[in-house]
Amino acid sequence: MNPASLIPAPDPLQVPWGWFQVLLSITFLLHLLVMNIMIGWSIIACVNHIFKLPRAEENQLISKKLPFTIAFAINFGVPPLLFLQVLYGHLMYTSSVLMAVFWLSIVLLLLLAYYGAYIYKLQFTRIPGLHSLLTSFIAILFLAIAFFFTNNTSLMVSPESWPRYFDEPNGLLVNFADPTLIPRYLHSVFASVAVGGLALGLYYDWKKRHGDLAADARIIPAMNWFSYATILNFGIGTWYFGGLPTTIRTVTGTASAFTLFFLLSGIGAAILSVIYGLQRRVRQTAFAALAAIICMVAVRELVRRQTLAPWFSTSELQVVPQYSPLLLFLAVFAAGLALVWYMIKLVRPAHNPATNPVDSEVQS
Amino acid sequence: MNYPIWQLDAFGGGLFIAVIAIFHVYVSHFAVGGGLFLVLTEMKGLREGSAEILAYTRRHTKFFLLLTMVFGGLTGVGIWLTIALLSPAATSKLIHIFVFGWAVDWVFFLVEIISLLLYYYTFERLEPKKHLLLGWIYFISALMSLFVINGIIDFMLTPGEWLTDNNFWSGFFNPTFWPALFFRTFMALMIAGLFGFLTSVNIKDTTLRHNMVRYCGIWLLAPLVLLLASALWYKAALPAPQQEMIFLVAPEMKPFLGLFIWLSPLIFAGGLGMAILRPQNVQRPLAWLLLLLGFVQLGCFEFIREGGRRPYIIHDYMYSTSILKADLAETRKNGVLASARWIHNRTITPENRMEAGKELLNLLCLPCHSLGGPLNDILPVARRFSPAGMRSFLATMDTTSPYMPPFAGNREEMAVLADYLTTHLTQGTGDNPVRIRPETLVPAAFNGETDEYLILATTDMGMVLSSEPEFSGIDFSFAPPTLRAQVIERGEVPAVLGKEVQVSYRVKTDQETLTGTMTAAGSAFEATLPKMPAVSSDFRPYVLAEISASKNGRIIAATKLKIGISTTLGCRNCHGGPWRQEGKTGLSRETAANILAAHDQRSKTRLSRAFADGAIITCRDCHADSSRDSQGLSERLNLSAAIHGFHAAYIDHTDPNTNSCDFCHGNNPHGATGKLEDLHGGLGLDCANCHGTMTDHSISLLKEEKQARIPHGGKLLALIAPKASLPVQAIKGRSPWVMQPDCLTCHQDFRPPETDSAFNSWTQDRQGLYAHRHSMDGVLLCTSCHGAPHSLYPADNPHSKEAGNLQPLQYQKNHYPIGADQGCAVCHTVAMEEEMHHPGSLGTFRNRVE
């Protein structure tokens, strides 16, 4: 069976695809950062508790903030999922159906993890004996969800694996035929640990700059998480890269050249971030890491486009112009950001380290 | 068509979406109404200077946050994922049409999260004015979120002008946008009160608890009145097709509509009860009960709204099968297997029929049905049908069950799917061909040389149908047959005898014996049997009668007569159930129960209950039956019009593999009764040649009823009119049993026919019926020489070569009409030269048999 015959016909767009691509990339970057912190923190807390590392303050901080990161990881996940569906919906709906059981289970797993995180936060001081179990539970759920996402994005760009549906129509497909599936997943997981560590580092750096003398010592393990996870990711990234099709790995056109450019830039920024990280220069590490992540998001987009090139390109999408809804969105988005800024300003005097309501809430 | 189908088996039929959606909708409405509740409750605390109320508000906020932000937010994403799995094509449409609507909704979602977190975490740490401002920002963003989602959800029910202009704004501000928005807002406020009860009943201080419970009661009761008003507005704003679907067409809507209405006073009373009943151990369970009732009420509403767009998923645009309305003609022409993408068997072969059937099931049934699950299970439905019944159902489901889409495939696919559903997926009511073992019957004796008298006897109907009420519990049988006999004294000028002779009958089977005398009526003797004779235990579609004539106490002539009775009623083709007798014939109680259940559902009767209590349901008690002089109820269709008119919509008379009349009347050549024995059947004619197709036949009956202003006549007529072979105006209305096809329409002046259609030319009264007509000399009944209607000589009954021709065999030793081939000697003792009985009566019979 020719997989091309299975690719559904896409629906037309209201504005040219470039708009959606920009919105997708920006919102995905935001989601990626928060989601990495969320997963990374759950793993770090889990390791801390299991190995009984002396990181009580770090664990308590994670317990306080983890529910917020989940809330924002979900919220920031909405727009990239939306814009992805606009551009690649016909591929993504298909891949989702092929692995429907796993895909739908994400809702339940996330719900359990979310409430688990709230228990971890609200009952932190009351159930110390359950910390290992609870954080393992949360981390395993997140790791499972991450694997399902990786599987979906792999299936989405692999129409050649779609005919397997005819033997397995019950939504249980895992794309093990894709040699990048496992390294890609591990790459994301280690990146999460790195970003989670970096976020801790940034927090303690901020505390340090606001006079918290104990914060300095806490920066070291945080930056170790970042640096060693990133170092490991060089190896996993190489494995991942080796699994990509030859057409993508070799520079054969403009797209490949862009991919190579962003890839090398990303690697360069990542090396720099590791150097800074080992030197405990937190903010420099963060800038370099952010640059590396931006480059990797670009690489990710370009690799997807090149992988799909034999089957589909977003430039093929028909446009039936209708700009007023876009203008409405941009206006509401701007107003929403302004409102968020206003609210933060509104509460700022009430929210300082000395009288931090969140801290006192958790400690009460 | 475009996407693979997630084959969920028992978990299909919308189970996932039902479970996730109802919970999400309830909590998400709470997220809106509850936001206002928080702000106004905090204001109440501030106004009254009550630290306790403020503390309560904070506790309630924590509960609110954990429920709405975590559960509500995630189940919202869950709905999104679920609809994309179950209806990817529709989801894609909604995403692409409203992408920036969704994006705007996300912005409000973001503001909601931030404002709610800040509101909760700055309790008592921010000056009240600013804190309240955060609460107001939360509520307004939540309300705006509802505003956006409401437009998209109601677009699916009432897309309005979008169907023609494809404009975002036309779709968004669709015809039910505003009433739905108000309805949902009031519902959200009510739900805020219900959840308020849940937390306020746990307040320890008695005075404060009573104060807050009463306060929550206002939240519940005040919007409830407005909710009902907006529900009426919502209903009024619905276009006619959606209104009909909800309030008239879809039978499963009724309990939900009823429940929705009845729950309102219950919730109202519960709200009052909360204010009056003060003990905490009463209030706590009552608060949970009210929360549950609110949940059920909202669930009912969502079910009704979802149902209202049937058979579409986007009304008038995309069917629930995800096939676009605009593509239907093409898929019906080319077939869905050729048009869909995720198909393995593109062409149907004898080897892959069942595999192709499975794929058709996936494409056309699974979008709405489960296989053995709690929702929309297709198995019990399929089990009720024979393959032919299922074919007919599929062909007509969009008109008979308008909540279902039209069958989207071609005729071959329809047959394959029907076979798959009724022979593979389930064991439906289909039968293997019945093997008939013919019997030999011996006619009565007759000596043409010495006998002075003879009897020519027939019935008024060659074949009657019996529903065997004593077994089935339902009586829609034909009237018991009327026997007619003419006693002839042979001679140069034969005489038809009257009162000078006595004629009696005897009908005997292994079940019973009926005897009686026949009454002289004109030139014949008549007797209507006191009851429908019971068929023999070894089923044959007839019983035999012996007729004898006596004069002065001496039997002067005798003959045998076949009385055709079929119990092979095809009801179970669609109503399910087993055969009653020998696994091959007879209406079973189970089938009868299903028929009555369907009648109760459609016509709001309570026949099933009476049936279960042992009563025999007699259709003519309500539906007039002129064959039995039964008046019925004046506002009801007569029985013939009702049965034919109703079922015509369900039966596909264009199915090349089925004679639509055999479907019910039992003359399926492969069934226990076997083919119609009449001469015309052997000549290749079928029922429709004289009576019209099932549709045309029904229209002729319904038109008469419509003219008589019988309710439902016009409604059924409108339903089947599109299938008529003639314009409805051209079809002449007729009364059943009286106005029948006229033989002379084809046999003009008794000549060989020049046409093979007698439809639409009716006899005007009973005397014009073939069974009552006489030869041109006015002496002999037509039936005396030619046999009973539907059993004309030479009859070819598959159960016995002799059965339908007993008198020709008795008097002429052949199967032909009495006197055929110049056989005048049956009655006349001299050769005849004039065609006294009718032109051509001295000719050689044309339709020879071997």
Whether the bond into B794 is cis, omega within 30 of 0 = yes
Q: Please state, in angstroms and rounded to a whole number, the distance separating the CA atoms of residues B819 and B835.
A: 11
CATH number where A65 lies: 1.20.1630
Q: Are B707 and B639 in contact (CB under 8 A)?
A: no
Task: Say whether residue B506 is in contact with chain A using an 8 A CB cutoff.
Answer: no
Buried b (16+ CB within 10 A) or exposed e, B112-143: bbbbbbbbbbbbeebeeeebbbbbbbbbbbbb
Tell me what pLDDT residue A255 has.
74
Phi, psi (degrees; rounded to nearest 5) at B524: -135, 170
Tell me what pLDDT residue B655 has.
82
% chain B with pLDDT above 90: 87
Token couple for B664:
């019910």
Instruction: Compute the nearest-CA separation of A341 from chain B (Å).
Output: 10
| pLDDT band at B708; cut points 50, 70, 90 | confident
Tens digit of pLDDT for each residue in B468-481?
999 999 999 999 99
Instruction: Compute the nearest-CA separation of B75 from chain A (Å).
Output: 7
Work out whether strand B554-566 and strand B464-465 pair parallel, antiparallel, or are unpaired: parallel
Tell me what pLDDT residue B787 has.
97
Tens digit of pLDDT for each residue in B282-313?
999 999 999 999 999 999 999 999 999 999 99
Neighbours of B843 (CB within 10 A): 13
Tens digit of pLDDT for each residue in B154-178?
999 999 999 999 999 999 999 999 9
Q: Could you tell me which chain A residue has the CA closest to the CA of B1? A: A8
Token couple for B321:
């099968």
Report chain B residues whose CB lies below 8 A from the CB of A358.
Answer: 121
Tell me what pLDDT residue B186 has.
97
Contact B74 A346 (CB under 8 A): no
Tens digit of pLDDT for each residue in B770-783?
999 999 989 999 99
Instruction: Compute the nearest-CA separation of A165 from chain B (Å).
Output: 8
**Are A112 and A72 in a shared domain?**
yes
Averaged pLDDT for residues B571-592: 95
**Are A138 and A42 in a shared domain?**
yes
Most B-contacting residue of A13, A78, A84, A342 (CB-CB within 10 A), to test interface: A78
**Are A257 and A221 in a shared domain?**
yes
Averaged pLDDT for residues B223-239: 94
Residue B526 β-bridge partners: B484, B519
Of A93, A343, A358, the CB nearest to B3: A93
Q: Is position A358 within any domain?
A: yes
Q: Are B585 and B672 in contact (CB under 8 A)?
A: yes
Phi, psi (degrees; rounded to nearest 5) at B369: -105, 150
Q: Please state, in angstroms and rounded to a whole number, the distance separating the CA atoms of residues B696 and B678.
A: 22
In three-state form (DSSP H/G/I as H, E/B as E, the rest C), the secondary structure along B625-654 is EHHHCECCCCCCCCHHHHHHHHHHCCCCCC
Residue identified by tokens 């009909």 is B244
Most B-contacting residue of A7, A96, A142 (CB-CB within 10 A), to test interface: A96
Tens digit of pLDDT for each residue in A142-188?
999 999 999 999 999 999 999 999 999 999 999 999 999 999 999 99
Asked if ipTM goes beyond 0.85, one says yes
Q: Could you tell me which chain B residue has the CA closest to the CA of A106? A: B78
Averaged pLDDT for residues B227-256: 90
Q: SS3 for B559? A: strand
Task: Say whether residue B69 is in contact with chain A using an 8 A CB cutoff.
Answer: yes
DSSP codes joined into one string, B13-56 = TTHHHHHHHHHHHHHHHHHHHHHHHHHHHHHHHHHHT-HHHHHH
Contact A75 B133 (CB under 8 A): no
H runs (alpha helix) in B668-737: 679-682, 687-691, 694-707, 713-720
Q: Please state, in angstroms and rounded to a whole number, the distance separating the CA atoms of residues B458 and B456.
A: 7
Instruction: Compute the nearest-CA separation of A8 from chain B (Å).
Output: 5
**Are A294 and A267 in a shared domain?**
yes
The list of chain A residues with pLDDT below 50 reads 353-364
Q: Which residues contact A231 (CB under 8 A, 6 or more apart)?
A: A274
Consecutive H or E run containing B6: none
Q: Are A36 and A334 in contact (CB under 8 A)?
A: no
Instruction: Compute the nearest-CA separation of A114 from chain B (Å).
Output: 7
Q: Are A97 and A171 in contact (CB under 8 A)?
A: yes
- Our count of domains for chain A comes to 2
Q: Is position A197 within any domain?
A: yes
Higher pLDDT pick, A287 / B713: A287
Q: SS3 for A230? A: helix
Tens digit of pLDDT for each residue in B428-474?
998 889 999 999 999 999 999 999 999 999 999 999 999 999 999 99
Nearest alpha-carbon partner for B286 in B300, B272, B299:
B272
Q: Which residues 104-163 of B are in CB contact (within 8 Å) with A?
A: 104, 106-111, 113-115, 117-118, 121-123, 125-126, 130, 133-134, 137
Q: Is position A347 within any domain?
A: yes
Global confidence as pTM: 0.90
Of B74, B93, B134, the CB nearest to A346: B134
Q: Which residues contact A222 (CB under 8 A, 6 or more apart)?
A: A58, A197, A198, A200, A201, A204
Average pLDDT of chain B is: 94
Task: Say whether residue B6 is in contact with chain A using an 8 A CB cutoff.
Answer: yes
Q: Is position A147 within any domain?
A: yes
**Are A220 and A351 in a shared domain?**
no
**Are A198 and A168 in a shared domain?**
yes
**Are A316 and A338 in a shared domain?**
no
Token couple for A64:
């306080």
Asked whether the predicted pLDDT for residue B42 surpasses 60, the reply is: yes
Of B70, B84, B341, the CB nearest to A118: B70
**Are A185 and A294 in a shared domain?**
yes
* A and B: number of Cβ contacts within 8 A: 194
Of B98, B104, B342, the CB nearest to A165: B342
Amino acid identity for residue B580 in this structure: R
Asked whether the predicted pLDDT for residue B129 surpasses 70, the reply is: yes
* Cα B79 to the center of its chain, rounded Å: 33
**Are A249 and A364 in a shared domain?**
no
Tens digit of pLDDT for each residue in B798-839?
999 999 999 999 999 999 999 999 999 999 999 888 898 999
**Domain annotation for chain B: domains and CATH numbers:** 9-318 (1.20.1630), 355-430 (1.10.760.10)
Q: Are A296 and A25 in contact (CB under 8 A)?
A: no
Expressed as residue numbers, the domain containing A118 is: 9-325
Averaged pLDDT for residues B372-393: 95
Tell me what pLDDT residue A68 has.
95
Tens digit of pLDDT for each residue in B655-689?
877 788 988 998 889 999 999 899 999 999 999 99
Most A-contacting residue of B83, B93, B107 (CB-CB within 10 A), to test interface: B107
Tell me what pLDDT residue B404 has.
95
Q: Are B761 and B740 in contact (CB under 8 A)?
A: no
Instruction: Compute the nearest-CA separation of A104 from chain B (Å).
Output: 7
Tell me what pLDDT residue A350 has.
55
**Are A65 and A110 in a shared domain?**
yes
**Are A341 and A249 in a shared domain?**
no
Contact A329 B100 (CB under 8 A): yes
**Are A341 and A289 in a shared domain?**
no
Q: Please state, in angstroms and rounded to a whole number, the distance separating the CA atoms of residues B128 and A200.
A: 33
